[in-house]
Amino acid sequence: MTDETAFTYRFEPGSKPGAPPLLLLHGTGGDENDLLPLGGMISPGSALLSPRGRVLEHGMPRFFRRLAEGVFDEDDVRKRALELGAFVADARQRRGIAQPVAVGFSNGANIAAALLLMKPDALAGAILLRAMVPLSDPPQAKLNGKPVLLLSGQADPIVPAHNSAKLATLLSDAGAHVDHKILPAGHQLSQADVMLARDWIGGVDARAA
List, by residue number, the catalytic residues: 106, 156, 187
Q: Are strands 60-62 and 9-12 parallel, antiparallel or unpaired?
A: unpaired
Q: Assign 196 to helix, strand or coil.
A: helix
Q: Assign 128 to helix, strand or coil.
A: strand
Closest by Cα among 103, 123, 112 to 36: 103
DSSP symbols for 65-126 = -EEETTEE-HHHHHHHHHHHHHHHHHHHHHHT--PPEEEEETHHHHHHHHHHHH-GGG-SEE
**Beta bridge pairs of residue 102:** 23, 126
Q: CA torsion sign, 162 to 167 to 173 to 179? A: negative
Given a contact cutoff of 8 angstroms between Cβ atoms, the answer to whether 20 and 202 are in contact is: no
